[in-house]
Amino acid sequence: MVRYEYRCPACGPWTVALPMGAADARRTCPTCEEPSPRRWSAPLLNRMDPASARERLREEASRDVPEVVTSVPPAARRRVPSDHRQARLPRP
Ligand SMILES: [Zn+2]
């Protein structure tokens, strides 16, 4: 079970424990029954290294609110080999 956080416009934040991946983008507030949007947070991220936590949060947010790009991302830079003999090796 994972604790998911929602924010009611009238009552404030509240949490609910659900199976992983079962959280909806909106849930009814248990107090006033207003539809409440989900707050994107990941519990226990302070125990992970910051890079993993950032990617995990980004991955989870992209399920419902994917990032939209307006142009093609630039190509990755090719690594320059430190040994000149590596330049003669066959390429895949
Ligand atoms: Zn409420």
8 token code pair: 């009611």
Number of helices (H) and strands (E) in the chain: give both, helices first: 1, 4
36 burial level (CB within 10 Å; 0-12, 13-18, 19+): buried
6 CA → ligand 1 middle, Å: 10
13 CA → ligand 1 middle, Å: 9
7 CA → ligand 1 middle, Å: 8
Q: pLDDT tens digits for 63-80?
A: 888 888 899 888 888 777
Contacts of 5 (CB under 8 A, 6+ apart): 13, 14, 15, 38, 39, 41
61 CA → ligand 1 middle, Å: 23
Q: pLDDT tens digits for 32-65?
A: 999 999 988 765 555 778 888 888 888 888 888 8
27 CA → ligand 1 middle, Å: 10
What secondary structure letter does DSSP report for 53? H
